[in-house]
Amino acid sequence: EEDLKTANSLAQRLQEVAFTNKWCKKDKAYAGVWIARGTGYPIVGRFFLKQIGLDRVEGFVEQESRAKIYGKCNANEFDLNVQWSNGDLTNIGVMYNPETKESKQLQGRMMPLRTSMKFPYVHYRLIPGTNEYDEDFGNKGSLNKYVFEAKKKGLYDKLLDNFYAVSQLYENISFERLADLFGMDARGAELLAQCLLKCGQVTGAVDQEDQMVIFEKPREALKKFNGQVRDVCLKVQRAYDAIAKEHPKLQQQVKNKIKKEMKARKVSEKAAITSGKGCEDGATSSRTGRVAGGNKKNGNSTNSKMEIAK
């Protein structure tokens, strides 16, 4: 149980570091992992935000399967829509007037140090079994940006980089082999693999029956590899064309050699086919002969019986 708690905590830290490395840029103030402190649902847990362009925000709460976030922003103001998996909806940075039924957007405020956000929010709770909502308005909340300790982040970065390198070298790897690479026992390697897969940087699964990690190659990686192969082929073709242009006689010699090898291969294949057909014909003739002889013998036997009958 203690190992599981530790593994879940490690998985969360790795998820946060992987997300931060991918999306956090100096000119993207809203991008990062934001923590809701001292508040309850719906402003609770970790908000993973990525800033798309200058004025759009997307993300999720804890996991993409739990709640998705869409919104807009400018330098210091923002509003976010959080769509929860249970059907609830939260409008962050929106001021709602229940009397006039009007709402005012972009009411969220980014604080000057860019490490915290404050906002009003309206929560709509879906009434079970209906398409109607209970409105909860007049609320306020805040998010604080998660800041990593440099030393710990360096360790997490090494784990992520090394595991990614392993996923590029292996299609699958046993717990024992992974334990050797990371300097730990097999149980620790299994838990580490689960943590690293949960953070989403590498796609794969843990097979506990066969005691191994199975990696899935993303389409982007395959596209990149195919592109590299194509580039190599083009370079080889260009080199060949350059050599042929400088040495036309050499090009002709190569062409003649290729034609000669292809002709010899065709002759060899034809001979092999003819030989196989001859063997098959011989076997068929042999079987036919045995059948004919058998019929003749049966004929003689029948005649003898007829003579006895007479």
pLDDT tens digit sequence for 99-149: 888 899 999 999 999 999 999 999 999 999 999 999 998 899 999 999 988
Of 140, 146, 126, give the one whose Cα is nearest residue 93: 140
Residue 80 confidence (pLDDT): 97
pLDDT tens for 164-217 read: 999 999 999 999 999 999 988 988 889 889 888 888 778 899 998 999 999 987
Residue 304 confidence (pLDDT): 38
Q: How far apart are CA 180 and CA 286, in angstroms?
A: 63
Residue 257 confidence (pLDDT): 79
Q: Which amino acid is at 110?
A: M
Q: Which residues of 160-171 are buried (b: 16+ CB within 10 A; e: fewer)?
A: beebeebbeebe
Residue 30 confidence (pLDDT): 96
Burial (CB < 10 A; 0-12, 13-18, 19+), residue 5, is exposed
Mean pLDDT confidence for 40-56: 93
Q: Are 75 and 67 in contact (CB under 8 A)?
A: no
Q: How far apart are CA 222 and CA 201, in angstroms?
A: 16
Residue 105 confidence (pLDDT): 93
Question: Cα 106–107–109 angle (5° rounding)?
Answer: 100
The single-letter DSSP state of residue 171 is: S
Stronger pLDDT, 288 or 158, i.e. the higher one = 158
- CB-facing half-sphere around the CA of 155: CA atoms within 13 A: 7
Whether 309 has a pLDDT exceeding 50, the answer reads no
Query: Is 0.85 surpassed by the pTM of this model?
Result: no
Match 């990696």 to its residue by tokens: 215
Residue 292 confidence (pLDDT): 44
pLDDT tens for 219-274 read: 555 566 567 777 788 777 777 777 777 777 777 777 787 778 888 887 887 777 77
pLDDT band at 278, cuts 50/70/90?
low
Residue 13 confidence (pLDDT): 92
Strand runs (DSSP E) across the chain, as ranges?
32-36, 45-52, 56-61, 63-73, 77-84, 89-92, 95-97, 102-104, 108-110, 116-126, 133-145, 172-174, 204-207, 212-215
Whether 299 has a pLDDT exceeding 70, the answer reads no
Cα torsion angle, 274, 279, 280, 285, sign? positive
Match 């300097």 to its residue by tokens: 183
Which backbone phi and psi does 124 adopt, to 5 degrees?
-110, 115
Of 80, 138, 82, 78, give the one whose Cα is nearest residue 106: 78
Q: Which residues of 106-130 are buried (b: 16+ CB within 10 A; e: fewer)?
A: bbbbbeeeeebbebbbbbbbeeeee
Mean pLDDT confidence for 57-81: 95
pLDDT band at 3, cuts 50/70/90?
low
Residue 69 confidence (pLDDT): 97
